[in-house]
Amino acid sequence: MLGTMQDRPLALPHIFERAERFFPHKGIITADATGARSRRSYGEWAERTRRLATALDGLGISADGRVGTFCWNTAAHLELYFAAPCSGRVLHTLNIRLYPEQLTYIVNHAEDEVIFIERSLLGLIGPLLESFESVRHLVVIDDGAPTPLPEGYDFIDYEELIAGSEPATFTIEDENQAASMCYTSGTTGNPKGVIYTHRSTYLHTMAAMLADSVGTCERDVILPVVPMFHANAWGLAHAAVAAGADLVMPGPQMTPPALADMIVEERVTLAAGVPTIWMGVLPELEGRDTSALRVIPCGGSAVPKALSEAYREQIGLPILQAWGMTETSPVASVARLTSAMEDLSEEQQADLRAAQGMAVFGVELRIADQLTGESLPWDGETRGELQAAGPWVTGDYYNDDRAPDSFTEDGWLRTGDVAVITPEGFVRIVDRTKDVVKSGGEWISSVELENEIMAHPQVAEAAVIGVPHPKWSERPLACVVPVEGAELTKDDVLEFLDGRVAKWWLPDDVVFIDEVPKTSVGKFSKKDLRDRFGGHVLPTAE
């Protein structure tokens, strides 16, 4: 007779109860609006989380009601991360950097019943409160900011809410029920809602703990700079709890000096954020003790090779590039070099670290022809749309008729990224489908051009867009932010690129700007640049 296995749901209460039972002495350090840091043990956090779940009952939140959060990365936000889904509700993290009309759209579209707001963020959300149709309760979390409460609303104090509640018992029987939801950044049209189930979150958490992925473990001190309102903080909030790792939550203290202080003073081992964050932090770490750091995961947009190498040269640790999307929970690939790559030259290894790497265990990736849908070869040269599938890759959007356009007939997610895949399975994203420069029937990768320009020692940031050309349809325009005090010219940039890229890739013009505009999740906003420079007249018409 064949044996049988126990059928236990893959659900968040197991992650929560593991930390509660095995690691009550470990903890969460949170920086508040004043810069002060406080510590809360996992034991204290667990009891507060159970009380919070009961408080949701007291507020009359529906059995599967949406619980909105408008918060920084804090211990209180981590309490909400588990209290809502472990009690059967759906956590809905609201992106504090979205445009006002987008925030109103997603609150109403998700039908949030309550919103938890950190006091320092009241100024952002206050003017929008009257536009929220389904919200019945507003709870304020005091993070030390002196922000006044907007008049005309009944706010509930978070600490009083918890104090008046008894600890709840958690039971989730259906692993496929929704645990949380996150909306995309909405670069084209309204944001789209992605649902994460208990099962998908559980499996994604396990993936983040794999040695060849991010490798979170009990000995780690984790600083998630990536916001908890963006794709589950890349899974680090769940993985830290599952592993029993200490957490350092930056709260509103997101400046490079503050982050550098936390890395050094709290002996952080794992710090994760987008490239623009690490550009600012690197100078702040110069000459300081960063010996505790073992890995710096980075994603959101392509990591410039020059930035990764600058970290390797200064602190002995290159950046670890990872790739994913809101739709992939988000971790889908990690650029960890394999043992077969150890004999490559430093330059070759640096090139590979600047790629998006190999699909993590559990995720499948492929490239396909955008027009025919035909799968393309993994030869490191053939370019196609990157598509993804896996147990934590969404197959739909929440209540959205745009969903069919984002998935293939056989159920793979169409990522919108253009990529090549090497025979070894290393993915290199060369552009977004909407950002490639289409010149004379050929594609020019804006990402690869940007990386080469940002290798110039006098360039702080660079973004490349296509602008209309009478003969070639489009030609590249480089938008460059010089290092403060640098006297950089167009010829300096073009001479630096000469020999580093094909001559027909050289930008037709270079404009100097104060800052590259960013999206709500810290990526370069090419849309804003196209709006600004779409009518730019190129100096030649060859």
* 81's tokens: 């991360």
Phi, psi of 244 (to 5 degrees): 80, 25
Average pLDDT over residues 43-58: 98
- At 284, the amino acid letter reads E
Poorest-pLDDT segment among 141-155, 243-257, 318-332, 459-473: 459-473
Return the DSSP state at 256: H
pLDDT digits (tens, 9 = 90+) for 169-218: 999 999 999 999 999 876 557 889 999 999 999 999 999 999 999 999 99
Rounded distance, CA 56 to CA 51, Å? Answer: 9
CB atoms within 10 A of CB 381: 10
Q: Which domains does the chain have, with CATH numbers?
A: 12-26+39-203 (3.40.50.12780), 437-533 (3.30.300.30)
Rounded distance, CA 31 to CA 196, Å? Answer: 28
Identify whether the C-beta of residue 391 lies closer than 8 Å to the C-beta of residue 397: no
Rounded distance, CA 513 to CA 535, Å? Answer: 16
Query: Does position 37 have pLDDT exceeding 80, yes or no?
Result: yes
Nearest to 392 by CA among 174, 203, 177, 240: 203
Rounded distance, CA 299 to CA 356, Å? Answer: 9
Those residues whose C-beta lies under 8 Å from the C-beta of residue 265, and which sit 6 or more positions away, are none
Predicted confidence at residue 186, as pLDDT, reads 60
Those residues whose C-beta lies under 8 Å from the C-beta of residue 503, and which sit 6 or more positions away, are none
Those residues whose C-beta lies under 8 Å from the C-beta of residue 387, and which sit 6 or more positions away, are 365, 366, 367, 368, 408, 412, 413, 414, 415
Predicted confidence at residue 6, as pLDDT, reads 82
Identify whether the C-beta of residue 284 lies closer than 8 Å to the C-beta of residue 307: no
Rounded distance, CA 411 to CA 418, Å? Answer: 19
Rounded distance, CA 258 to CA 266, Å? Answer: 12
Which residues are registered as beta bridge partners of 39?
A: 29
Query: Does position 426 have pLDDT exceeding 60, yes or no?
Result: yes
Rounded distance, CA 327 to CA 192, Å? Answer: 10
pLDDT digits (tens, 9 = 90+) for 279-311: 999 999 999 999 999 999 998 877 889 899 999
Query: Does position 521 have pLDDT exceeding 80, yes or no?
Result: no
Rounded distance, CA 509 to CA 464, Å? Answer: 10
Identify whether the C-beta of residue 203 lies closer than 8 Å to the C-beta of residue 362: yes
Q: 3-class DSSP state for residue 297?
A: strand
Predicted confidence at residue 441, as pLDDT, reads 64
> What is the C-alpha radius of gyration for the chain, rounded to an integer number of angstroms?
23
Predicted confidence at residue 249, as pLDDT, reads 98
Query: Does position 541 have pLDDT exceeding 70, yes or no?
Result: no
Nearest to 161 by CA among 114, 129, 128: 114
Predicted confidence at residue 1, as pLDDT, reads 57
Nearest to 431 by CA among 442, 453, 416: 416
Higher pLDDT, residue 460 or 445: 460
Rounded distance, CA 125 to CA 31, Å? Answer: 21
Predicted confidence at residue 439, as pLDDT, reads 80
Rounded distance, CA 303 to CA 440, Å? Answer: 28
pLDDT digits (tens, 9 = 90+) for 345-390: 999 999 999 999 999 999 999 999 988 899 999 999 999 999 999 9
Predicted confidence at residue 188, as pLDDT, reads 56
CB atoms within 10 A of CB 295: 19
If you write DSSP's letter for every residue of 446-488 in order, what string do you get?
Answer: HHHHHHHHTTSTTEEEEEEEEEEETTTEEEEEEEEEEPTT---
Identify whether the C-beta of residue 291 lies closer than 8 Å to the C-beta of residue 323: no
Helix H or strand E encompassing 197: strand 193-197
For the entire predicted model, the pTM comes to 0.85
pLDDT digits (tens, 9 = 90+) for 63-95: 999 999 999 999 999 999 999 999 999 999 999
Rounded distance, CA 224 to CA 425, Å? Answer: 28
Residue 143: exposure state from Cβ atoms within 10 A (0-12, 13-18, ≥19): buried
Predicted confidence at residue 459, as pLDDT, reads 94
Those residues whose C-beta lies under 8 Å from the C-beta of residue 12, and which sit 6 or more positions away, are 82, 85, 86, 172, 179, 198, 201, 202, 238
* 283's tokens: 């100078």
Query: Does position 471 have pLDDT exceeding 70, yes or no?
Result: yes
Average pLDDT over residues 120-140: 97
Rounded distance, CA 201 to CA 193, Å? Answer: 16
Average confidence score pLDDT of the chain: 93
What residue has token string 């950190």? 118
Catalytic residues: 184, 327, 438, 443
CB atoms within 10 A of CB 10: 19
